[in-house]
Every structure is written in C-alpha cells, then in structure tokens.
Amino acid sequence: MSMTNCYNCARENAAGTATCPGCQAILEVAGYRIAGILGQGGYGAVYTATAGPAAAARGAVAAGQAVALKQHFDAAGVTQQRREFAVLNGLGHAHLPHYYETLEAGGQGYLVMELVPGQSLEAVLGRHPAGLVESQVLSYALQLCDVLSYLHGQQPPILHRDIKPANIRLTPEGLIKLVDFGLLKQGLGQTGSALRGLGTPEYAPLEQYGRGGSTDPRSDLYSLGATLYHLLTGHTPEDAISRVTVGSDPLQPPQYYRPDLSSAVGAAILHAMAVRPEDRPATVADLRAALLGLATIPAGAPRPPPAPRPPPSQPPARSPLIPLHLLPAHEHPVGTVAFAPDGRILASGDKSGIVWLWQAHDWTALRSLAMPGQPVNSVAFAPGSHLLAAGTAGGMIYLWQVADGMLLRMMESPVSAVNRVAFSSDGQTLAAATSDNRVNLWRVADGARLATLPPRSRMLMLLDRSAFPLRGRFERTASEAMARCIAFTPDSRLLAVGSDNRTVRLWQVDTRRLLYTLAEDCGVVYHLAFAPDGRSLATASAHGRIDLWRTADGQHLSRRAEHQSYVCSVAFSPDGQLLATGSGDKTIGLWRLRDKRVLGMMRSHTATVASVGFSPGGTLLASGSWDTTVRIWRVDESML
C-alpha cells in the first residue's frame, strides 16, 4: 500500500486518506493531494496541492500539475468563491494568476488556481525595513499599473479593493502577479456591506468604509499609492479614517523618510493617496504618467506639510532598546511571542493559526507550525524547552515537540476560547485561561484534564481603598467575564488569573483554593506576570495602567500610567530589575523598578504591540505586533 506523510505532523497515511487522523489536517480534496499550507486566516486557508487523476479527469488541469488551493470555511465564503471564479475565470493577463476551477467538498469551498512561485512583496520588504530601491519599486509600480488598466478596462470594470504588499507576488524572474481577489467588485454601484471585509486599513480608501461615496477605479489607485508609500519608506501609511478624524492630516510625505526620493514619484504617491476620490488621478494611465514624471500634478492636489524635525542642537533621546532584527515571516497580526527557557528558540504566533519557530543564534526560521482555522492567542514553552503549547481562539490547545515539530496531542476547552496558556515550573501541568472565566489544569504527560478553577468561589476581598475607589468596581459578574491571562509563581505554588471584570484571582494550586481577589478600578486586566522572586505581581490593564502588587497579601505597591492606550503585555527581566510593556498605543515601555523610572517609550511598530518577552539572559527583548512583525531588541545595559 502506498503511504504518504502528512505535511502538518509528518504522520504516515495511506494514499487517498482525506484527513490525517493524527492532527486533522486536510490531505486530499476532490482529487487534489495537499502538499503544504501557504497561509491561512479566519475565513479560510491557501494550500499547495498536486492534481491527481480524478482532478485531471475534469479537464481543468493536468495530472501531476502543482496548483494553489484556496479554501473557504463557511457558506458565505463558498458563495463569494463562486462569484470570484465567475469574474476571474475569463481573464488573461501576464500579471494575473490563472484560475482553473471551483469546487465544494465537506461543506467548504475551494478555488483552484495557478501556483505562483516566488515571494510576496511584504516578505521582500521585511528584509529591507528602511524601504526598497526607488528604481526597483518603480518597476513593480508600472507592472501593477498595467494589470489595473486591464482590470479597470473590463465591462463592467473590475476592482481589486485589497491591493497591498502581501497580495503582490514577485516571481524569481522579476514578474509581478496580483493575487487574492477576495474583495473584488465588478461594476460601479454602491459598495454596501455584501462583501466579507473592508480591506486592510492602512491601504484602504475612505469610500471603502462606506464614507465619501461608492468605490470606483480611483479606490484601487489609493491602495496602490499606499502600497508604493510603504515599499519606498518602510513605514505603513496612516489609515484613511485617522486622516480625517484628527485636526490635520498626519500623513507624512514619502520624502520625510526618504529624502533621496525623486520629487515626481513622491508627488504621484501623495496624489494617489488623496482622501477625496475626486482629488486623485482620474485613471491608472494618469498615475502611470505621474510616476514617470510625464504629467503635472494638479495645483489643488493635497500635499501634507512635513512634520517639524528637532533642531540640530536637540539630538534625539537615547533609547534603552537597540533594534537588532525584524522577523517578517508572518502575514497576519502577531498576538504572542515567547523565548524558550534555554534561549535557543523564539516562538511567535499569529491570528491565522501559524506559529513560527526562530533560531536565536542567527534569527533564521526553523519551521512553522500550522493550526488551520485556529487563531493563536498564546504560546508557552515547557521548562525543558522540549515542548511548546499553543492556545487558540477556537478552544484548542496544541502540544508540539520542538525538536522535530511533531504534534503530540490536542486538548479541547469546551465551548470557550483559550486566551492564555502557562506551564508549571516542573513542566507536569499546563494551565489554560478561557473565555468563560475558568482555568483548566491539564496533565502534560497524557493530556488529561486535572481540574477546573471556577469563576466563583469563597474568597477574601482585598482592596486598597485609597488606590481604588469603590464606584463601579464591577461592570460584569464573574460568570459573565473572560479570563484573559494567567501566570504561575516561580515555584508554581500559586496561580494568578486576570479577567475583564476588573479582578485578579490568586489560587493555591495544590489545594485548588482561592486565596484572595484583587479588585481593580481600571477596566480589563489584559496581562500579568510574577517577578522572578515571586514576591510581587505586575498587572497590565486598560487606561494605560501598570500596577505592582505584593504577592503575600495583595497589598497595592505602585501604579504607572505612561501609555496612551491599554497595556496588553507585561514582562519582568530575569534579574527582576526591569519591566517591559506593550501597548495599544504602538509603543514598548521599559521601566527600572528600583526607582520606578521610565527608561524609554519606543515606537517602531505601526500597530498594537500585543506581546513582549525577555530572553533568559535578559540581554534581548522580543516584541510581537498586530502590524504582522516580530522585532528583536538588545537591552542597553549601560542605562540600567
């Protein structure tokens, strides 16, 4: 009997097996044998596959042909897929992939298309964070103008509506391919809300949100302009909503970041990114001419003034974090990062269900771990660095073997999402905080559930009344709340649980007894961490607040509120001297605990900094962000 290995967990399966019994990964669909996964998100996934005889018999592809298989998880996606195929099947252009057939299997829809070799421009940009060479970007821009001119020239016009670096493929021959037409629109009617999304905020024009009229070809020009802006400067542009809700347009000219940029290209990009459609180029041909310096930008076209720079006599403040590396493999928001206890590997998980493992000695990718349709909320290494647990929004906990990426087992949290996972110090117990405000304790050896810590129990309420007024202390009852975060003390005798009903519960692990509950008047508790000596607890919460508590009795010790938005991650350095924070204001905070001094607020990410973590030696800090990147920083020890 012919056997093949599962692309996800490497288990051997008989040829023709539709689903891997070990990890439930899809192995075969309607005659297509799946070889790997290219990417995934909340609505579906894209696989590499090979056409077998059954697929070839339908006449759309040849036996043995490699294809890309785009999957939709639900009925709405299947309907969209049929519509997408109906529009794209009849097209033919050098900068578009071929679309072969659409099919349904197991209640899910699949779109079969050309497998485009190469990489996305997002991946290219990730290796050049300061921006790409202008001549190179101009070559890409002209190719994109050609394909948009073709699409907009159809009757009725075809709009892509999600142009961004992640949806542009660069082949080894230097050819550009525009992919992912999941938000396409044919015709010029009102946009409405029939489609599955609004595009990516940094690249989507205002009218795509239903504001300022309906979408038309000029909407794609805005997205193309925003894409070129990002490729040239390395900075994602301000989103359209922000540009109209503040006093003055915060969008900086591209030359602010790239003074060497030619004036024609810079002006053409700003022209394409005008907030009002009527202020943009009328056609793709007009934008193409402007990029080549063959057209004059109208006098009324908006040109945001450059932001003031500090005078030469005022050098920028020294940062306690020195940027070392940008890890660009993710294509979706990164929600969690964690170093292995031996410091050799960093794990990062994103909202598409992908976890990447990085080798810390050179920051190359070791492997990716896929959890189809399961956005990753949390990752944690076992104390020996040999196991990795991932908690997902779909209520599953995946336990992986780090050495070879083998999936050992899956544990299911009934009904609710898993928001955070944590190993005990002996590695024998795994705790999981869930969206029904419970904590499940699992035995690592066999995946058996040992106990569930309920949302309510007998408790001693400890409240520092001077720090926390009693007004509105609880907006949600314990049963209505969500357990967002957990942490063991270093000796694993105690377990802290933070919830969005403004409380932190402290449990004694061996007796499963609730010792006390801290009640905060600061909203949702997003994250918490014990100091390395276990004597204090840090909590991160709404309103930009970080609080320190004494573990022994719950006494409130101090509070800082430097961030301008919620704090969603907090981490102690291994020596207990520093506290790092990540926030919705896109900054990383670094605090020196002995004198409560703020060492710096770093803003290099372009979206929420969802997770921060120190290396075991304390010399490095990793940060994961909703901007899809992971950044590695060196801690400047001279500032400590």
Q: So which residues are the catalytic ones?
A: 162
What ranges make up the beta strands (E) of 135-284? 158-159, 168-170, 176-178, 185-186
> 178 forms bridges with which residues in the sheet?
168
Tell me how far apart the alpha carbons of residues 517 and 478 are, in angstroms, rounded to a whole number: 11
Closest CA to 499 of 473, 472, 474, 524: 524
Tell me how far apart the alpha carbons of residues 588 and 621 are, in angstroms, rounded to a whole number: 10
Which long-range CB contacts under 8 A does 551-560 form with residues at least 24 apart?
551/489, 551/494, 551/506, 553/462, 553/516, 554/462, 554/506, 554/516, 554/518, 555/462, 555/464, 556/464, 556/467, 556/468, 556/518, 558/596, 559/467, 560/591, 560/596, 560/598
DSSP 167: G
The two three-digit tokens of residue 336, written as one number = 């969690």
In contact, 1 and 21? CB cutoff 8 Å? no
Upper half-sphere CA count for residue 68 (Cβ side, 13 Å): 16
> 338 forms bridges with which residues in the sheet?
347
CA distances in angstroms from 378 to 260, 348, 390, listed in the order given = 42, 9, 6
Tell me how far apart the alpha carbons of residues 158 and 151 are, in angstroms, rounded to a whole number: 5
Upper half-sphere CA count for residue 326 (Cβ side, 13 Å): 18
In contact, 227 and 143? CB cutoff 8 Å? no
Q: What is the 3-state secondary structure (H, E, C) of 5-59?
A: ECCCCCCEEECCCCECCCCCCECEECCEEEEEEEEECCCEEEEEEEECHHHHCCC
284-291 helix and 263-272 helix, angle to the nearest 10 degrees? 160
Dihedral sign of CA atoms 66, 70, 75, 77 in order: negative
DSSP 245: H
Tell me how far apart the alpha carbons of residues 377 and 490 are, in angstroms, rounded to a whole number: 22
Upper half-sphere CA count for residue 152 (Cβ side, 13 Å): 18
> 399 forms bridges with which residues in the sheet?
389, 409
> CB count, 10 Å around CB of 156?
11
SS3 assignment, position 465: coil
